[in-house]
Structure 1
Amino acid sequence: MDWVRGDALGRGSFATVSLAIPTTNPNQFPSLTAVKSAEAQTSCWLRNEKHVLDRLGSSSPRIIRCFGDDCSFENGVEYYNLFLEYAAGGSLADELKNHDGQISEHEAREYTRAIVEGLSHVHKSGFVHCDIKLQNILVFGDGGIKIADFGLAREAGQKQEKSECRGTPMFMSPEQATGGECESPADIWALGCTIVEMVTGKPAWQVEKGASMWSLLLRIGVGEEVPEIPNNLSEDGKDFIEKCFIKDPKKRWSAEMLLKHPFLINDGTVPFKRVHESPRSHFDFPDWVSSVTNSLPSSPEFQDKWDFDDGFCSPEDRLRQLLTVNRPASWSESDGWSSVR
């Protein structure tokens, strides 16, 4: 497609998003198409997004569509460009601002159902998103939402390099914080953090101003602390989030299980009776403490690889080692994207 770059929509750490205006064959793509661009030599995350979206296909209405890619030369610089659906409503982070910082439980339920449907498709297709958060859920003109930003996504079960960990620290699961493990349960934990932020307008983890990223990872990965469940939710809503915040990834509910949870099935008029007796099925597992791993946490925002002794030690020891490493303390819930709409 011959096209020219239109108005900028947003900028991030690895790419910029603009409108793509076709100059020939305008029927090839929708009249409004977004183009996500990065300099060719630093476009690995964007090329990974293209690969994942191609594998996911267009069969799920909850996954953003990709229309192709190309390379361009602009002002002497080569860019890799990815053409995607244009989301007129921005992201769920924008939607939260439009609702004065708090989304009602009824709307949050509808958004959550759509996200879980998308995650179910991603996980069934053999992938993990690795960066679920409000900024990566796009809102379209009809009010529908789709999961986007698959740059950090990976194939499930794929061997990881030591110390590799993908995602945004505020949304990391215990297994990511202690060992860098990012499989489908990590997306479910991040979903829980996303719901909490939707209904409260605040991050799931409350941290003091000036606190280090490592102190947050220590809280996430060690011990039994989990984010606080919002009091303004129904019993169904509270129970749903608790199923996302089970610390042992093996016992955390899957997307398929969550689709059958009363929070997504009920319309809010029929209360869900919570079970407090002994478990009778795999739906009743308690919040077990996460298992020990011998990998190390890091953030995709920091591309350096850290070398540590290969000897086995507990997550507590590993994280205490990290506290002595002088690294940039950039761990906010945002990955640096700024809206320029």
Structure 2
Amino acid sequence: MDWIRGETVGHGSFGKVSFAIPRKQSTLFSPSMVVKSSSASCSATLINEKLILDELKGCPQVINCLGDSYTYENGEKLYNVLLEYASGGALSDKLKNSGDHRLPEFKVRKYTKALLRGLHYVHKSGYVHCDIKLQNILLGENGQVKIADFGLAKRSESMKDDKLRCELRGTPLYMSPEMVTGGEQDTPSDIWALGCVVAEMATGTPVWRCSDMSKLLMNIGVGDQLPDFPDKLSEEGKDFLGKCFVKDPKKRWTAEMLLKHPFVADQDYDDDTVTLTCESGNPSTSPRCPFDFPDWVSDDSAQSSVTRSITSLPSPAFQELMNLSDGSRSTSPAERLRGLVSERRPESKWSAGDGWVSVR
């Protein structure tokens, strides 16, 4: 698609986001688009996002990808991904612009149900988002929820081998206990992060009120301490958070289970219902209780189209993706925590509320 770069609307660690204006209007593409761009030599994260979004097409709660291209601008080769424009902005901005920096419970319920539908689709499609937070939840013109920023997303642990299990991905305030202590990041980690988002929508503040990184990681990963539950949230809401904030990921409720929780079950939502089936073609069934989980089955011979596409990438992008698998897994939670606490990244601002960075 032939397009012209417009005004810049945002920046990130990957590059920048600008408006994209089609040179010729086409019924195949929305006239309201943005383009996410990065240098072609370090575009592995953006390429990963494009490949995953292509596999998640059809879900109303996931941002729609409209294509990609390479361009030469100011002597530099750029990789660009065209995305639908969510004119309502990020959910984090909605909180900041509200009178008391929090949302009324009826809106929290509505947005939570939409998020669950999107996460249910993502998880059943075999992926983990790995960075669910308010900044990565966008709103359409009519308030439709759109999960965005899949640059850190990956195949579910249950659908691939264990070689990438030690990766550290996401934003510290939203990290799950198993991520901090063992490097495990599967679909339950997204549910923990969802709980953080729900509580933050209700209060306007992060669930962990701690600016010291070492203390934060210890609170998340060690002992029985849980995030604070909002006092003004209904009993149904507190019970919902209780199903998200379960230290043992095997006992944490799934997105499919949470969709039937009273906190969201009776919420009307305009988007089409997403129907998912197993490989056999039969509809998936929800566990009857939080402990009724099917055994995870690992199929090492099954290789996703994302993996197949990655192997054919140009060497710079391929190398960056492969670098994500470097490192060894700690032998104990204590050793891992010491490594995390001692790690220093140039752009980290642990004491600033808006300064939390994605750890890649």
Q: TM-score, normalised by structure 1?
A: 0.82
For these two proteins, the number of residue pairs brought into alignment is 302
Q: Which residue is 1:72 aligned to?
A: 71
Q: Does 1:282 align with 2:326?
A: no
Return the offset for 1:155: 0.5
**1:7-26 alpha-carbon deviations (Å, 9 max, x no partner):** 11111111211110111354
Between the aligned partners of 1:7 and 1:64, the Cα distance in structure 2 is 20
- Tell me: CA distance 1:162–1:183, structure 2 relative to 1, closer, same or farther (3 Å): closer
- Tell me: CA distance 1:147–1:322, structure 2 relative to 1, closer, same or farther (3 Å): closer
1:1-341, aligned counterparts within 5 Å? Answer: 1-58=1-58, 60-100=59-99, 101-157=101-157, 158=160, 159-161=162-164, 163-208=166-211, 211=212, 213-266=213-266, 282-283=289-290, 312=331, 314-325=332-343, 328=346, 329-331=348-350
Q: Does the 8 Å contact 1:203/1:333 carry over to 2?
A: no
Return the offset for 1:255: 0.2
Q: Does the 8 Å contact 2:165/2:184 carry over to 1?
A: no
Return the offset for 1:199: 0.9
Q: Does the 8 Å contact 2:166/2:184 carry over to 1?
A: no
Q: TM-score, normalised by structure 2?
A: 0.78
Between the aligned partners of 2:250 and 2:65, the Cα distance in structure 1 is 33
Q: Does the 8 Å contact 1:218/1:316 carry over to 2?
A: no
Return the offset for 1:97: 1.5
Between the aligned partners of 1:322 and 1:7, the Cα distance in structure 2 is 38
Return the offset for 1:307: 5.8
- Tell me: CA distance 1:161–1:304, structure 2 relative to 1, closer, same or farther (3 Å): closer
**1:3-61 alpha-carbon deviations (Å, 9 max, x no partner):** 11111111111121111011135434111111111111111111000110111122x11
**1:196-221 alpha-carbon deviations (Å, 9 max, x no partner):** 1111110110014xx2x232112111
Residue 188 of structure 2: SS of its match in structure 1? helix
Return the offset for 1:336: 5.7
- Tell me: CA distance 1:12–1:335, structure 2 relative to 1, closer, same or farther (3 Å): farther
Please tell me the residue identity of whatever aligns with 2:234.
Answer: S
Structure 2 residue runs without a partner (length 5+): 268-287, 293-322
Return the offset for 1:177: 0.6
- Tell me: CA distance 1:258–1:123, structure 2 relative to 1, closer, same or farther (3 Å): same
Residue 282 of structure 1: SS of its match in structure 2? coil
- Tell me: CA distance 1:330–1:126, structure 2 relative to 1, closer, same or farther (3 Å): same
Residue 205 of structure 1: SS of its match in structure 2? coil
Q: Does the 8 Å contact 1:37/1:80 carry over to 2?
A: yes
Question: What is the RMSD of the two structures over their aligned residues, measured on CA atoms?
Answer: 2.4
Between the aligned partners of 2:355 and 2:114, the Cα distance in structure 1 is 22
Q: Does the 8 Å contact 1:88/1:141 carry over to 2?
A: yes
Between the aligned partners of 1:172 and 1:311, the Cα distance in structure 2 is 17
Between the aligned partners of 2:235 and 2:259, the Cα distance in structure 1 is 17
Q: Does the 8 Å contact 2:53/2:65 carry over to 1?
A: yes
Q: Does the 8 Å contact 2:39/2:77 carry over to 1?
A: yes
Structure 1 residue runs without a partner (length 5+): 268-280, 286-302
Return the offset for 1:98: 2.1
Residue 82 of structure 1: SS of its match in structure 2? strand
Between the aligned partners of 2:8 and 2:265, the Cα distance in structure 1 is 39
Q: Does the 8 Å contact 1:168/1:333 carry over to 2?
A: no
Between the aligned partners of 2:330 and 2:247, the Cα distance in structure 1 is 24
Q: Which residue is 2:319 aligned to?
A: none
Between the aligned partners of 2:56 and 2:170, the Cα distance in structure 1 is 20
Q: Does the 8 Å contact 1:185/1:254 carry over to 2?
A: yes
Between the aligned partners of 1:167 and 1:105, the Cα distance in structure 2 is 27
Q: Which residue is 1:290 aligned to?
A: none
Please tell me the residue identity of whatever aligns with 1:315.
Answer: P
The more displaced of 139-148 and 320-329 is: 320-329
Residue 240 of structure 1: SS of its match in structure 2? helix
Please tell me the residue identity of whatever aligns with 2:6.
Answer: G
- Tell me: CA distance 1:326–1:334, structure 2 relative to 1, closer, same or farther (3 Å): closer
Between the aligned partners of 1:39 and 1:31, the Cα distance in structure 2 is 25
